[in-house]
Chains A and B, each alone.
Chain A
Amino acid sequence: MSPVGERVGLDRWYRWLLWAYPAWYRRERGQEMLTTLLDAARPGQRRPTRREVLDLAVQGVRCRLRLPRGLGYRIVALIVVPFGALAGWAIAGGLAAGMLAAPPGEREAAEVAAAAVGQEPYNVPGPAYRCPDYCNHQWRRGGDAVVVFDDVPWRNNGLDHTTVVYWDRDLAVPATIERARQWLAADGWSIDERQFPPGASGPFGAPVEGFTGYRGGVAVHVHRQADAAPPLHLTFEPGRRPEALAAAAAGGAVGGLVAGWATIAWVSQRYRRHHAGTLRATGVVVYNLPILVVMVLLGVLTAYLAVVFSSSPNSPAVLVPTLTMNLLSVLWIPQLFAVGIVVGILVAARPAPPDLVPRPGSEVGALWQP
């Protein structure tokens, strides 16, 4: 390739790499950086070196994520970014919880229960109940049952579930639980003991013994209550191990944090470039209105999902203290305060351009100065 051709090829490579930088930066610095990069290239160099690629990629991303200097920008970021993380946590957790398999139907549930417990429920398919709306199910005393709960969205996280109950007290013994544990484990179910720890009690204070198995997006809770009726339950519902959902939620939190930071950095940079020192308070509020609206919406969404999570036994809420979940459910209150603070800062501190030195004794623009 001729030297001119090599130069053109290298020029294209560098232009492509400069896309790591935001558009406004490329407009201001792109040509100049390209000149420097080509000046620094070795004779005959056709492609950027690995170090050059890494350097431009890292610095480009840093440029995109950099907050302008000034206390005001930092305060706004400090308020917005945690909400981004919370929203990411809630959205990813909610999506992961939503991508679960449907619970098995009556017949399939009865077959699994029979194999696990070692005894078929009597009268199966027998009585089967559907609850299209709120269903205060009364167990039929003395008869085994397979019950399908078709739940409404605001109950049990909207998760439909199928329950197989046994009334045979001789069957509701520790040996049955152990047998079911071994059979389900051998059948590929992942066993988790945390739902029913030793000493746990169920309705009316009756002690509960049992475990939960997970497989293919379905959870089965197997437990016995010696003093309750019916004494042995196998409940199938959509579910994954809490760790899996927690991992998704944690990933969402990290993603939300990065997205929140990137958004506030982008808005702040844009704000500083275009409007610093030129906008009046009303203009500042109008300019920032979209981000404030997004903050409120994210707060409402987070609060809603926190309520939903706290009502589901399969959600990441299992791994989060109840108090935390309760706090999340009232997040909209501090959210409103946070929005108020942001508006207050924006209104109170009229920004000044970076090269404008405030008059002695004047606090105007102090929040937006380094």
Chain B
Amino acid sequence: MERLQEYIDSRYIAGVRLREASFFILTALAEQPMHGYGLMKAVGELSAGQVRLRAGTLYAALDRLTEDGLLAVDREEAVEGRLRRYYRLTDQGASVLAAEVEQWQAAATVATARLRRRGAGRLGLAG
């Protein structure tokens, strides 16, 4: 278990950051399990239309995240004779997402502070 956690830490926290699509997929699943089409819609809404996932890209991301243990299949349903598979966030997935959010928040704080100082400097010069 330690090794798996080490791997996830090195891959997602100290090392490579989550891709934008993966970030929004994990975010969408943070509240409740969802199926493929639900995820496509949720990612579009959460990203304010910036990330539009198509089915091929969505399932490539789902494969990757499931393989890494960040997602798991929650249940399967048959709707009008067609298969729907729901995915849920695992504990590891929640940890990775939380760490990612923390990093973005820290980065955003630094950027905001610098912009404030820049704005203050300009005002000072103008005055």
Contact = CB atoms under 8 A, between A and B. Distances in A.
B21 interface: no
A36 B40 contact: yes
A31 B82 contact: yes
Contacts of B68: 370
B79 to A, nearest CB: 7
Interface string A41-74: 0000000000110011011101100000100000
A34 interface: yes
Given A39-B37, A370-B68, A60 B56 contact: yes
Please report whether the interface of chain A is mostly helix, strand, loop or mixed according to DSSP. Answer: helix
Interface in B20-60: 35-37, 40, 54-60
B1 interface: yes
Interface residue SS majority, chain B: helix
A51 B56 CA distance: 10
B55 A31 contact: no
B56 A55 contact: yes
Contacts of A36: 35-37, 40, 55, 58-59
B85 interface: yes
Interface residues of A, number: 28
A36 B56 CA distance: 10
Contact of A360 (B2, B57, B63): B2
A40 B55 contact: yes
B59 A35 contact: no
Given A354-B67, A357-B4, A32 B36 contact: yes
A320 interface: no
Interface of B: 1-4, 7, 11, 35-37, 40, 54-60, 63, 67-69, 79, 82-85
14 contacts: A33-B55, A36-B36, A38-B82, A52-B54, A55-B54, A56-B54, A56-B56, A58-B56, A59-B56, A59-B57, A62-B60, A369-B7, A370-B7, A370-B67
Given A33-B55, A56-B55, A69-B67, 7 more contacts: A29-B59, A34-B82, A36-B36, A39-B36, A59-B56, A357-B3, A360-B2
